[in-house]
């Protein structure tokens, strides 16, 4: 921490604004960690004093309050411990989440939309900011694809292991015979590239298409080709943006997304166990899922990598996802 602050006192640092911003971000994150740890120690000391007083006076009411407070301190301690697992420099960055419906039409498209809502609600619980970059709606219900940007410290670190196939089992609300259906959707999480990382590509390697945004959006969306789709020809990576009225702004956002995807593509390509996820497309179906969400005949969510389960399926789908994220971080940390 001291070395970082000394670095900011060096006048030469401010000659490079991008480098300066990166250092200031590091300092801000470390300061938050220190403040959180100090508060945890203070709360623990206060709790010990209250407990000792209540024990002497045999005050059961205060002892019950101490128990509630101790659980909160344990939860906060666990959260700080988990955040210390986010040790890679890129973990601190914002991130993008792409969700695509699998085969199965309306069923899978509705499931994809449920996943979007799950991640939005989890982000809201973390006080993270979310932006809908693009959304391709289904013909009857749900979405065919969606891209969300999540702004918040360590948002990529928390969500980076969510990439994979997610499976849902339920009684279909679209089946008049009330039969049980299995649906699939794919999730891909990648970090926003900031000033610390340089990703270069040639204009000649890009194919840029414009089109009219789909779905609700007012008269402007229906009349102008403001949405932008960019294809990086060598890697066949495609990004698209339609959330701005300005084609210029959509193009700028799409180019930034492309940089992020190219960065993630190269990092993952070096990791043998995950190479198949990015170097070639997986089928969105059986055999490739990382998590199952069962709503019928019983309720359960199971992560197939960590073996962690929860019977509160509706709670998970409403954004109570942190336990699964923590287990994934511990699991992959033990593998490294």
Whether 220 shows a pLDDT value over 50: the answer reads: no
Asked which of 79-83, 102-106, 179-183, 202-206 is least confident by mean pLDDT, the reply is 79-83
Tell me the pLDDT tens digit for each residue of 117-159. 999 999 999 999 999 999 999 888 899 999 999 999 889 999 9
Q: pLDDT class for 63, splitting at 50, 70, 90?
A: confident
pLDDT tens digit sequence for 4-17 = 555 555 666 666 66
Between β-strands 206-211 and 227-232, what pairing exists: parallel, antiparallel or unpaired?
Answer: antiparallel
pLDDT at 84 over 90: no
* Cα separation values, 244 from 98, 150, 221, 227, 249, Å: 18, 17, 10, 8, 6
> Which secondary-structure segment (H or E) carries 292?
strand 289-294
pLDDT cut 70: percent of the chain above it: 83
Domains of the chain: 2-83 (no CATH), 93-336 (3.30.70.1660)
Specify the pLDDT at position 282.
Answer: 52
- When pLDDT is averaged across residues 58-69 and rounded to a whole number, the result is 86
Phi, psi dihedrals of residue 310, rounded to the nearest 5°: -145, 135
Q: Is 206 helix (H, G, I), strand (E, B) or coil?
A: strand
Question: How much of the chain, in percent, has pLDDT values that exceed 90?
Answer: 40
φ, ψ dihedrals at 319, nearest 5°: 110, 0
The shares of helix, strand and coil residues in the chain, as percent rounded to the nearest 5, are 50, 20, 30
- pTM here is 0.73
Chain centre to alpha carbon of residue 247: 26
Residue 64 CA to chain centroid, in angstroms? 37
Angle at which helix 60-83 crosses helix 322-335, to 10 degrees, equals 50
Over range 195-220, report the average pLDDT. Answer: 72
Asked if 256 contacts 192 with a C-beta cutoff of 8 angstroms, the reply is: yes
> What is the C-alpha to C-alpha distance for residues 93 and 91, in angstroms, rounded to an integer?
6
Task: Report the mean per-residue pLDDT for the chain.
Answer: 84
pLDDT at residue 203, as a whole number: 84
């Amino acid at each position: 921490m001291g070395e970082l602050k000394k670095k900011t006192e060096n006048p030469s640092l401010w000659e490079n604004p991008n480098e300066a911003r990166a250092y200031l971000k590091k300092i801000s994150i470390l300061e938050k960690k220190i403040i959180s740890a100090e508060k945890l120690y203070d709360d623990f000391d206060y709790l010990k004093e209250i407990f000792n007083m209540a024990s002497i006076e045999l005050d059961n009411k205060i002892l019950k309050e101490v128990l509630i407070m101790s659980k909160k301190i344990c939860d906060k301690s666990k959260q700080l411990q988990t955040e210390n697992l986010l040790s890679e420099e890129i973990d601190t960055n914002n991130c993008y989440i792409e969700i695509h419906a699998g085969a199965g039409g309306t069923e899978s498209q509705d499931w994809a939309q449920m996943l979007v809502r799950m991640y939005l609600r989890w982000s809201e619980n973390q006080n993270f900011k979310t932006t809908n970059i693009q959304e391709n709606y289904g013909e009857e219900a749900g979405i065919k694809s969606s891209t969300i940007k999540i702004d918040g410290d360590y948002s990529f670190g928390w969500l980076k292991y969510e990439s994979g196939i997610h499976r849902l089992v339920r009684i279909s609300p679209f089946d008049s015979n009330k039969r049980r259906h299995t649906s699939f959707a794919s999730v891909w999480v990648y970090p926003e590239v900031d000033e610390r990382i340089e990703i270069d590509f040639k204009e000649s390697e890009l194919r840029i298409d414009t089109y009219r945004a789909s779905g609700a959006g007012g008269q402007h969306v229906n009349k102008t080709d403001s949405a932008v789709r960019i294809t990086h020809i060598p890697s066949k990576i495609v990004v698209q943006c339609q959330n701005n009225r300005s084609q210029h702004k959509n193009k700028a956002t799409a180019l930034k997304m492309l940089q992020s995807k190219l960065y993630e593509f190269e990092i993952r390509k070096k990791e043998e166990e995950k190479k198949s996820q990015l170097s070639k497309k997986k089928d969105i179906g059986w055999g490739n899922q990382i998590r199952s969400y069962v709503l019928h005949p019983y309720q359960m969510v199971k992560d197939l990598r960590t073996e962690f389960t929860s019977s509160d399926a509706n709670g998970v789908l409403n954004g109570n996802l942190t336990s699964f994220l923590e287990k994934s971080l511990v699991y992959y940390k033990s593998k490294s």
